[in-house]
């Protein structure tokens, strides 16, 4: 295969596009440090900038100068000198010992930091020096080769955040689109669509991201003694309304770990900050663990009367009788789901039970959530990609940033009302038109590679318009949780259809699956559960 030769300014052009949009939208929120960084960028020649962008794209933060070789930077030393002149890199930076151990070859690290143990492993060496607080220039540690470090890493990080609105994405998004691997819908990216409205919100976002990273590293290392301090730091944040949901989600994850570790007071403090599921469930469980059964029952009754989501209702039904038993009260009974059940007895074949079910039942496709969500995504395409201020930060979004917010529908109320006035024939025509004109564009509900137009239309035609409205209304009530749990198979033939959930031996219905089967029953949509058992295998 012939290697692809990228243009010399390949990555630099992407970076300059990023900075141009950030300047247009956030010039009033840029810090003095960020503005100075951009001025230095403007005054540096393209060849040197190519090298700088390469450094930002690598792990870092420090680099051995002699090892920096890139085809688009023919004279590396000269480029480094120009970056030094503009203050975009520093030579002989201040570092901790562990940073050099991570950067240098293990043999050299042993000479510098473990001369008495010439066979010491790198992981052991890192562990030994990780908590050493000494920070000094590389040369003071005994390093003889030139080490450099970009000075604008913090500004580069903030610029990427301002452009993407998150820290999950980076310049790679430009590359993936350029290669044709991902394609995106077009939407306005003017100043009115910017995500951040004040500098404090930018700072809080970065702090929250750092604390979330600390939490995941802490969990990976099982460094549980550090968890209480982390909880204290997150509890001390004062996030904006926009950031509150993310902050509460992190607090709930920290609280769950603290509860597992038996630190119920701190866990309760975390869960008490919000009502975002599963916070109220965990508070009820903590009350139960403390033997506060009256308080626990009161909390459960609140969940039953005012559930935020179906998960809370399911938890109430599973847990309430444990509490009532402790209080000497009679157990409650709940009606069983009105499900249509069938039994199937087959010989085991290679592959999944769902694949076998398609073969055995006939005229069936295994698409699970992809099929109903695909119909929904095509029907509601104009609303998903509506011009709503503040939800479009960059050209690489598969959906708006407020997709899972509580006011998603309220912000698009006029569009929902208009869609409800159209006929099913109009819906069908729009679905077909979007299939052809939007095909391949990223959409959070449409998985193009899994779908065929024939199957999409068969599914759409099978249900009445009222049924599609009912499904969509329920899906929109909680997009994050309700987008999963649809039956495995869609069976269709001539004028008949059925959604079928397949369960192999030992497999049980999950709460979200029961939830959707109940919704199907409420709307009069044909659905059933098929429990599969296998013939005993002959013994030799």
Say what the pLDDT of residue 97 is: 95
> 93-138 pLDDT, tens per residue?
999 999 999 999 999 999 999 877 878 899 899 988 988 999 999 9
Better pLDDT: 173 or 445: 445
Residues 3 and 13: their CA atoms lie apart, in Å, by: 21
Strand-strand pairing, 527-534 and 341-346: parallel
Say what the pLDDT of residue 48 is: 97
Comparing CA positions, the residue from 3, 103, 14 lying closest to residue 50 is 14
| C-alpha separations of 314 from 195, 281, 329, 475, 520 in Å | 36, 10, 20, 17, 17
| Average pLDDT over every residue of 29-37 | 96
To 10 degrees, what angle do helices 264-271 and 227-235 make?
A: 30
3-state secondary structure at position 94: strand
Burial class of residue 359 in the structure, from the number of CB atoms within 10 Å of its CB (0-12 exposed, 13-18 middle, 19+ buried): exposed
What band does 173 get if pLDDT is binned at 50, 70 and 90? confident
Say what the pLDDT of residue 193 is: 83
Say what the pLDDT of residue 471 is: 96
What band does 537 get if pLDDT is binned at 50, 70 and 90? low
Lowest mean pLDDT among 345-354, 395-404, 470-479, 531-540: 531-540
Q: Using an 8 Å Cβ cutoff, are 502 and 353 in contact?
A: yes
| Average pLDDT over every residue of 383-408 | 93
Residues 439 and 448: their CA atoms lie apart, in Å, by: 7
Quote the radius of gyration of the chain (alpha carbons, Å): 29
Residues 310 and 58: their CA atoms lie apart, in Å, by: 44
Say what the pLDDT of residue 181 is: 78
| Average pLDDT over every residue of 257-273 | 98
| Average pLDDT over every residue of 85-91 | 97
Residue 443: phi, psi to the nearest 5?
-145, 135
Say what the pLDDT of residue 17 is: 93
Q: Tokens 């610029």 — which residue?
A: 159
3-state secondary structure at position 367: coil
Strand segments, DSSP code E, in 462-504 are 489-493, 496-503
Better pLDDT: 177 or 34: 34
Structure tokens at 442: 């990223």
Residue 70: phi, psi to the nearest 5?
-135, 140
> 314-329 pLDDT, tens per residue?
999 999 999 999 999 9
Q: Which domains does the chain have, with CATH numbers?
A: 9-179 (no CATH), 199-327 (1.25.40.10), 341-534 (no CATH)
Residue 182: phi, psi to the nearest 5?
-135, 140
* H or E element that contains 344: strand 341-346
Distance of CA 351 to the CA centre of its chain: 30
Structure tokens at 202: 């930018």
Helix ranges (DSSP H) in 27-118: 32-42, 46-57, 76-85, 97-103, 106-113
Question: Across all residues in the chain, what is the average pLDDT?
Answer: 93
> 415-425 pLDDT, tens per residue?
999 999 999 99
524: left (phi over 0), alpha (psi -120 to 50) or beta: left
Say what the pLDDT of residue 8 is: 81
To 10 degrees, what angle do helices 310-326 and 279-289 make?
A: 10
Percent pLDDT > 70 in the chain is: 98
Better pLDDT: 119 or 288: 288
Residues 399, 440, 448: CA angle, nearest 5 degrees? 90
**Would the CA dihedral through 125, 126, 130, 132 be positive or negative?**
positive
Residues 453 and 446: their CA atoms lie apart, in Å, by: 12
Comparing CA positions, the residue from 310, 475, 482, 519 lying closest to residue 379 is 475
| C-alpha separations of 41 from 30, 45, 78 in Å | 15, 8, 16
pLDDT above 50 (res 539): no
> 239-264 pLDDT, tens per residue?
998 899 999 999 999 999 999 999 99
What band does 55 get if pLDDT is binned at 50, 70 and 90? very high
Beta bridge partners of 534: 346
What band does 536 get if pLDDT is binned at 50, 70 and 90? low
Q: Using an 8 Å Cβ cutoff, are 104 and 98 in contact?
A: no
| C-alpha separations of 507 from 151, 335, 536 in Å | 56, 22, 18
């Amino acid at each position: 295969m012939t290697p692809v030769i990228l243009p010399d300014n390949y990555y630099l052009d992407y970076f300059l596009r990023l900075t141009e949009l950030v300047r247009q939208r956030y010039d009033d929120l840029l810090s003095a440090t960020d503005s100075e960084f951009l001025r230095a960028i403007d005054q540096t020649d393209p060849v040197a900038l190519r090298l700088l962008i390469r450094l930002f794209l690598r792990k870092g933060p420090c680099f051995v100068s002699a090892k920096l070789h890139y085809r688009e930077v023919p004279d590396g030393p000269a480029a480094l000198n120009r970056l030094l002149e503009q203050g975009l890199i520093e030579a002989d930076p201040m570092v901790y010992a562990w940073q050099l151990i991570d950067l240098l070859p293990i043999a050299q690290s042993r000479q510098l930091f473990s001369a008495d143990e010439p066979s010491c492993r790198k992981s052991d060496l890192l562990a030994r020096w990780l908590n050493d607080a000494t920070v000094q220039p590389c040369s003071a540690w005994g390093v003889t080769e030139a080490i450099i470090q970009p000075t604008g890493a913090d500004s580069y990080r903030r610029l990427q955040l301002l452009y993407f609105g998150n820290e999950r994405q980076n310049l790679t998004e430009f590359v993936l689109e350029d290669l044709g691997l991902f394609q995106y819908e077009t939407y306005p990216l003017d100043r009115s669509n910017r995500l951040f409205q004040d500098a404090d919100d930018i700072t809080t976002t970065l702090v929250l991201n750092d604390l979330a990273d600390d939490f995941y590293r802490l969990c990976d290392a099982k460094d549980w003694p550090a968890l209480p301090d982390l909880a204290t730091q997150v509890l001390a944040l004062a996030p904006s309304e926009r950031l509150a949901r993310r902050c509460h989600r992190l607090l709930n994850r920290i609280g769950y770990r603290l509860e597992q570790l038996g630190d119920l007071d701190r866990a309760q403090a975390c869960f008490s900050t919000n009502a975002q599921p599963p916070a109220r469930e965990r508070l009820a469980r903590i009350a139960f663990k403390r033997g506060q059964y009256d308080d626990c029952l009161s909390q459960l009754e609140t969940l039953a009367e005012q559930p935020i989501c179906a998960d809370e209702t399911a938890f109430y039904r599973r847990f309430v009788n444990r509490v009532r038993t402790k209080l000497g009260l009679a157990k409650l009974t709940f009606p069983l789901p009105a499900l249509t059940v069938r039994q199937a007895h087959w010989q085991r074949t290679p592959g999944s039970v769902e694949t076998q079910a398609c073969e055995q039942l006939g005229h069936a496709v295994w698409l699970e959530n992809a099929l109903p969500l695909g119909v929904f995504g095509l029907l509601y395409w104009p609303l998903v990609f509506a011009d709503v201020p503040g939800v479009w930060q960059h050209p690489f979004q598969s959906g708006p940033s407020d997709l899972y917010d509580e006011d998603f529908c309220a912000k698009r109320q006029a569009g929902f009302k208009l869609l409800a006035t159209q006929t099913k024939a109009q819906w069908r025509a729009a679905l077909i038109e979007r299939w052809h004109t939007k095909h391949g564009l990223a959409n959070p509900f449409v998985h193009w590679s899994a779908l065929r137009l024939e199957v999409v239309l068969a599914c759409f035609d099978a249900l009445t318009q009222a049924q599609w409205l009912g499904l969509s209304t329920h899906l929109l009530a909680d997009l994050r949780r309700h987008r999963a749990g649809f039956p495995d198979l869609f069976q269709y033939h001539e004028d008949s259809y059925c959604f079928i959930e397949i369960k192999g031996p030992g497999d049980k219905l999950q709460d979200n699956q029961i939830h959707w089967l109940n919704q199907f029953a409420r709307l009069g949509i044909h659905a059933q559960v098929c429990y599969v058992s296998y013939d005993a295998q002959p013994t030799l």
